[in-house]
């Protein structure tokens, strides 16, 4: 979709998503084992973060993973046989199986996708180029469907992801309803000018689009432009719903792409019932849970993908480690441009992230490139010289090894650099410690992880809200049906349903990894702890603070993490000779208020790594009770919060004035919010908190008196939050902002109820206050009272929603809440006579014929168990009609007659008919089911088919009456038959899906516009039509049409033959053309059947072409023609394709890159006996390429003109950034016919 525009943006991608964790990257070390999450990431090959995010989503879809595992080697073949020419190996699903097994069982921090991308046919350039993940999702599913043809998993994608949408258009003049059904594997929803997913779905599947004024609809029934209304509904929901967000748009003024970064919310659980065509089922049938969010960080010209994933089977370890003292250092953290230009700070920051501060010099340069997005040579070499020379000059900071292969940071410099980074990071502290106010952790504690290429980190469910907006925001959403239950044996069992051969392979690989790791294990087990000594601290203002200085109060201790907590305690006793009494070790962390003790460490027999003591941990050493005589609160529940408290100043006489005083105060997060009055010595009053997330600026929300007993954490307050205290005599006006008083009265939610009961009232409509949890019955009774209507109306009335066109919709049941009924605040309801249908009844609209005018539909209430035949009879009686030549059709989303209700004995409930649906009474018998309408074209290639050519000349007048597609030759150029494609339209065929291809050809021979004399259907060759050219060759006369999966829009062209043809499964049809010596042109094409049973090799093809033209194989050269580029690619049996990443030869297969040979391709042939040069192009190719250049030049000039025009409008012109050319994404799959 966006191709090469998505370049990997390393400047915004952190290599360390842990909390201060430093990674070792030694060349001789084996792959790192899984981290504490027990989940494996995927290594980035350079630009494959988009692929990694999608693969992790598929891997954490257990139903997809297990369906793939269920396909055995007998169906897919074996990877060991993939290089054998006669082997039928489905490489892509096999490599996916192996990758999933590695992610489940291989004890590695990250696995590689190199074998999988090789099976895609990707080169090293493709692996370095980033693409759009939404585009990859569709292409990968298509490749899998093609790879699994003929296996038991042929419907895997269809079964899990396929859904249908029904569209309707209704003509406002004749009421004709047109219905169209569409298939989808993912839903694409708008982001621009939409607040969230539910609003987008409401706009797509609830709201109607009206065609009027300058945008009229052409009605086939009226045969003119008319007003019409269009709507859509979800007809069939898949088990797994994929939603793509349209975050990338195009600015037509600036003539450039941009990313939509506005707030776009989406729920953790969504009820799709309001958006579905059938809605009479239980709500659980429409409930979907979010389980994956693919996130894009960056802009539309560069960025990075990672994914938030819900661990459905609890395969991972979802535990949180405490914050570490050494933060990650990204380019975003370095706010000052002078610091970015200082290589000393950048290099020290990189070395601080390495354990022992040691790294190979070569890797230091690579990490610098990833950190700042530019290499050392381009950024610093001109001013500072080579990297090694710079390290030598600054020997007081960096220590190079004797062979200058590695560098480390001296300890004094390490401490200084770390303090600099901590000071730099404090600017972002408020942002980093912010918590979500909307999404909270559920009691069930769903396990969510952030998988960022190789890194896997647990996150909390509320962290998803951070991806609602901004440059780092959600890009794809994946939901699973709530009713899908996992078997108990699958829980926390990664070996569940993994094939035996993969289990054996992974077990052997893990044994080999264990042996390699044992050799270098001793170098990776030391951690650095920061010991904070209790006697050197005092408790003040809700937190611990050093008595003298931080340096004297904190000691650094290097310790073996394999030792136990008891060993650590004993070591500290020996270190602190002055210590007397009990010693308690607790994990502490720095907060804005000071140092806070979070958790006391217990279990002296446990190793430090077992109790998750990590590198850089802060340990508070004390007696476990008090510090300086004051009892210390501990635990995360009472973590101190630093709040900004505003209150009205008092005069010397004790009276309040209008001046506000702001002062910092610290409160425990588990304290009641009412304690603010005690802290400020205010007897009583009102507390307001600042809602910084409101649109358009700040707003203050009053806390009700009953909520004053809630804690600060329950109210969503966090460090840096503002609290306003008002005395009880201040009234409602509290603050001034820009000269205006902010009112504390919140906006009232309401519904508008109109009187449609045919009874007179003083007012035509009233506003009723309500919330989403208000019951409809209460609203109806309030409306009757406020309209001052008769009380008897309460027993015989109902509320009906009114759409924007003024139409009354289906009555809302009294028992439902507004949320259950799908009603929005501000909606209009009509108070109408008559009771609402019960839970077992259906309220239906119906109309006579397909020409339905708005407001002319009739209404009936029937039982949902009534049959179609009885329902039809009731409607006929109400219309005063008789007869048996009528049938019912359901109105589709286009307000046109949709699919007929064929099963007359079926119950309405069984056919998913629900309240509010519109049924149409249509006269006439039902049309036949299971039929296709196929447009037929006549394809006449230039060639030695003189019999057909002569006959075509005689009947040319007949054919010319139909539509013609023809690529005409360039005037003045020699005849080049390889560019000629002529198609004549013959007509449409209505044929059964169960009919064979031979029967289709027979019926096509009877079309009136075809006047050729064809002996039999075997003398016709059938192709699909793609891009106005013959596409896929349809083989087998006796194969049923439905087996070809033609689709509803498929068109077929027929090509005449001189003799009967019956192609085998290994026969490939090619069109060869001999190059005319000295003329730079080609002769007429000759059809050549090439048997590929022994492989798609270049030598085999050369031999076949040489036999056709009776020439020695060494005296010919052949090339494939690409008509869209006017280019020829020579085919040589001696060419060897070698990848840069792997020094091995690829199999010589013309099906793969760069030829992608298929049926119908043109092969140019050159006779070296009379013409010995490398040029295959013709005069027409030269002219065609020149035209392509002219078109490209014209487009570039247009863009430059628009850019210049937009620069006149804009006062500030941004510097142009060079972009790489867009490249399409493709996955190459072999033929499995």
Catalytic residue IDs: 49, 304
Residues 6+ apart with CB under 8 A from 1186: none
Query: Phi and psi dihedrals of 126, rounded to 5?
Result: -65, -35
For residues 159 and 61, give the distance between their C-alpha atoms in angstroms, rounded to a whole number. Answer: 13
Look-up of token digits 């506000």: 660
Q: From CA 190, how far away is CA 407, in angstroms rounded?
A: 51
Q: Is 675 exposed, middle or buried (0-12, 13-18, 19+ CB in 10 A)?
A: middle
Q: Which long-range contacts (CB under 8 A, 24 or more apart) does 123-127 make?
A: 123/1139, 123/1153, 124/1139, 124/1140, 124/1141, 127/45, 127/46, 127/47, 127/48, 127/1141
Helix residue ranges, H only, 822-937: 868-879
**Partners of 308 in beta bridges:** 293, 450
Q: Are 1108 and 1163 in contact, with CB atoms under 8 Å apart? A: no
CA distances from 576 to 358, 394, 583, 602, 622 (A): 30, 36, 11, 20, 12
Closest C-alpha to 599, from 570, 628, 572, 619: 619
Tokens of 132: 């759009």
**3-state class of 206 per DSSP?**
coil
**What 3 state SS string does 426-440 have?**
HHHHHHHCCCCCCCC
Task: Cite the DSSP H helix spans in 731-790.
Answer: 776-786
CA distance 337 to 315: 44
Would you say the C-alpha torsion 738, 741, 746, 749 has a positive or negative sign?
negative
For every residue of 365-412, which 3-state class applies, written as one string?
A: HHHHHHHHCCCHHHHCHHHHCCHHHHHHHCCCCEEECCCCCEEEECHH
And the tokens for 761? 């009232």
Q: Scanning the structure block, which residue is given the tokens 């390889």? A: 978
Taking residue 499's Cβ as centre, other Cβ atoms within 10 Å add up to 17
Spatial CA neighbour of 693 closest among 441, 461, 435, 473: 435
Question: Is 1136 buried (19+), middle (13-18) or exposed (0-12) by CB count in 10 A?
Answer: exposed
Report the DSSP pairing between strands 187-190 and 240-246.
parallel
Structure token pair of residue 499: 């094939």
E strand or H helix at 646, and its extent?
A: strand 640-650
Torsion sign over Cα 468, 470, 472, 474: positive
Among the listed residues 616, 390, 461, 476, the one whose alpha carbon sits nearest the alpha carbon of residue 57: 476
Query: For the purposes of burial, counting CB atoms within 10 Å of the CB of 427, is it exposed (0-12), middle (13-18) or buried (19 or more)?
Result: exposed
């Amino acid at each position: 979709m966006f191709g090469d525009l998505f370049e990997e943006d390393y400047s915004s991608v952190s290599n360390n998503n842990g909390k201060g964790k430093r990674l070792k990257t030694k060349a001789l070390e084996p792959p790192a084992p899984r981290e504490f999450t027990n989940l494996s990431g995927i290594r980035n090959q350079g630009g494959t973060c988009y692929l990694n995010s999608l693969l992790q989503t598929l891997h954490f879809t257990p139903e997809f993973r297990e369906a793939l595992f269920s396909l055995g080697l007998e169906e897919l073949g074996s990877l060991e046989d993939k290089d054998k020419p006669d082997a039928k190996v489905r490489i892509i699903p096999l490599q996916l199986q192996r990758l999933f097994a590695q992610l489940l069982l291989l004890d590695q921090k990250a696995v590689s996708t190199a074998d999988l991308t090789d099976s895609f046919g990707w080169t090293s350039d493709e692996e370095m180029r980033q693409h759009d993940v939404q585009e990859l999702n569709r292409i990968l599913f298509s490749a899998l469907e093609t790879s699994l043809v003929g296996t038991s998993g042929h419907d895997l994608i269809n079964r899990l992801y396929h859904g249908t949408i029904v569209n309707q258009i209704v003509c406002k003049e004749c009421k004709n309803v047109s219905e169209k059904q569409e298939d989808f594997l993912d839903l694409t929803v708008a982001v621009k000018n939409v607040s969230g997913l539910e609003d987008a779905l409401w706009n797509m599947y609830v709201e109607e689009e009206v065609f009027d004024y300058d945008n009229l609809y052409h009605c086939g029934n009226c045969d003119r432009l008319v007003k019409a209304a269009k709507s859509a509904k979800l007809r069939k929901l898949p088990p797994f719903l994929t939603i793509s967000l349209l975050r990338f748009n195009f600015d037509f003024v600036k003539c450039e792409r941009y990313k939509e970064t506005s707030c776009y919310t989406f729920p953790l659980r969504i009820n799709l019932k309001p958006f579905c065509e059938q809605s009479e089922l239980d709500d659980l049938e429409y409930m979907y849970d979010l389980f994956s969010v693919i996130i894009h960080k960056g802009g539309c010209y560069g960025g990075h993908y990672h994914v938030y994933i819900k661990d459905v089977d609890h395969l991972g370890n979802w535990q949180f480690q405490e914050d570490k003292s050494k933060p990650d250092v990204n380019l975003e953290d370095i706010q000052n441009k002078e610091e970015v230009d200082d290589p000393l700070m950048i290099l020290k920051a990189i070395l601080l992230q390495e354990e022992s501060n040691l790294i190979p010099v070569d890797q230091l340069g690579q990490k610098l490139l990833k950190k700042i997005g530019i290499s050392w040579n381009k950024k610093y070499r001109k001013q500072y010289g080579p990297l090694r020379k710079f390290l030598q000059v600054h020997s007081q900071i960096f220590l190079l090894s004797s062979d200058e292969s590695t560098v480390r940071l001296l300890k004094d410099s390490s401490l200084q650099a770390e303090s600099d980074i901590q000071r730099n990071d404090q600017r972002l502290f408020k942002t980093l410690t912010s918590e979500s106010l909307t999404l909270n952790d559920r009691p069930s504690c769903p396990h969510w992880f952030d998988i960022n290429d190789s890194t896997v980190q647990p996150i909390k469910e509320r962290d998803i809200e951070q991806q609602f907006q901004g440059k780092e925001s959600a890009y794809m959403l994946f939901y699973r049906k709530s009713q899908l239950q996992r078997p108990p044996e699958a829980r926390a069992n990664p070996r569940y349903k993994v094939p035996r051969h993969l289990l054996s392979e992974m077990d052997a690989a893990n044994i080999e990894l264990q042996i390699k790791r044992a050799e270098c294990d001793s170098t990776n087990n030391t951690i650095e702890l920061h010991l904070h000594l209790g006697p050197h601290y005092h408790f003040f203002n809700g937190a611990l603070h050093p008595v003298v200085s931080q340096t004297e109060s904190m000691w650094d201790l290097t310790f073996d993490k394999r030792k136990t907590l008891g060993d650590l305690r004993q070591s500290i006793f020996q270190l602190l000779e002055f210590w007397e009494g009990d010693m308690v070790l607790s994990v502490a962390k720095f907060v804005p208020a000071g140092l806070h003790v979070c958790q006391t460490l217990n279990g002296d027999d446990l190793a430090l790594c077992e109790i998750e003591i990590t590198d850089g941990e802060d340990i508070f050493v004390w007696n476990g009770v008090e510090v300086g005589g004051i009892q210390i609160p501990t635990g995360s529940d009472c973590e101190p919060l630093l709040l900004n408290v505003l209150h009205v100043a008092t005069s010397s006489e004790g009276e309040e004035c209008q001046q506000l005083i702001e002062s910092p105060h610290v409160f425990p997060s588990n304290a009641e919010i009412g304690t603010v009055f005690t802290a400020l010595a205010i007897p009583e009053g009102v507390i307001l908190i600042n809602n910084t997330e409101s649109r358009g600026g700040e707003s203050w929300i009053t806390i009700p008196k009953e909520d004053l007993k809630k804690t600060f954490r329950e109210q969503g307050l966090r460090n840096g939050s503002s609290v306003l205290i008002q005395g009880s005599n201040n009234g409602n006006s509290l603050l001034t902002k820009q000269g205006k008083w902010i009112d504390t009265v919140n906006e009232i939610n309401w519904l508008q109820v109109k009187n449609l009961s045919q009874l007179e009232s003083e007012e035509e409509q009233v506003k009723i206050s309500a919330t989403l949890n208000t019951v409809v019955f209460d609203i109806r009774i309030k409306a009757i009272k406020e309209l001052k209507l008769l009380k008897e109306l309460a027993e015989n009335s109902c509320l009906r929603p009114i759409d924007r066109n003024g139409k009354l919709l289906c009555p809302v049941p009294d028992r439902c809440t507004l949320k259950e009924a799908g009603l929005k605040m501000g909606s209009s309801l009509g108070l109408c006579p008559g009771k609402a249908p019960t839970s077992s009844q259906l309220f239906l609209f119906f109309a006579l014929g397909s020409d339905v005018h708005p407001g002319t539909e009739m209404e009936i209430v029937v039982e949902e168990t009534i049959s179609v035949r009885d329902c039809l009879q009731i409607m006929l009686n109400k219309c005063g009609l008789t007869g048996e030549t009528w049938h019912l059709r359901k109105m589709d989303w286009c307000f046109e007659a949709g699919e007929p209700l064929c099963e007359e004995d079926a119950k309405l409930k069984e056919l998913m008919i629900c309240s509010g649906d519109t049924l149409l009474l249509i006269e006439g018998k039902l049309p036949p089911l299971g039929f296709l309408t196929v447009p037929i074209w006549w394809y006449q290639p230039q060639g030695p088919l003189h019999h057909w050519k002569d006959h075509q000349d005689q009947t040319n007048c007949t054919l010319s009456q139909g539509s013609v597609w023809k690529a005409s030759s360039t005037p003045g150029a020699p005849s080049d038959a390889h560019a000629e494609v002529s198609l004549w339209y013959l007509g449409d065929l209505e044929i059964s899906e169960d009919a064979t291809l031979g029967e289709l050809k027979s019926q096509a021979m009877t079309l009136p516009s075809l006047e050729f004399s064809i002996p039999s259907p075997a003398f016709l060759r059938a192709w699909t039509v793609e891009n106005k050219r013959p596409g896929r060759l349809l083989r087998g006369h006796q194969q049923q049409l439905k087996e070809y999966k033609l689709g509803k829009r498929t068109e077929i062209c027929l090509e005449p033959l001189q003799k009967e043809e019956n192609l085998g499964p290994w026969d490939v049809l090619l069109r060869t053309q001999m190059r005319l010596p000295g003329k730079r042109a080609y002769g007429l094409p000759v059809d050549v059947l090439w048997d590929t049973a022994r492989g798609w090799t270049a030598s085999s093809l050369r031999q076949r072409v040489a036999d056709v033209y009776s020439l020695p194989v060494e005296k010919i050269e052949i090339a494939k023609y690409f008509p869209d580029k006017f280019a020829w690619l020579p085919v040589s049996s001696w060419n060897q394709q070698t990848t840069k990443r792997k020094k091995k030869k690829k199999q010589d297969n013309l099906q793969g890159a760069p030829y992608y040979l298929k049926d119908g391709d043109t092969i140019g042939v050159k006779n070296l006996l009379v013409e010995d040069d490398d040029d295959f192009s013709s005069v027409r190719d030269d002219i065609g390429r020149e035209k392509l250049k002219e078109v490209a030049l014209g487009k570039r000039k247009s863009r430059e003109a628009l850019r210049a025009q937009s620069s006149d409008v804009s006062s500030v012109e941004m510097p142009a950034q060079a972009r790489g050319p867009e490249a399409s994404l493709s996955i190459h799959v072999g033929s499995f016919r």
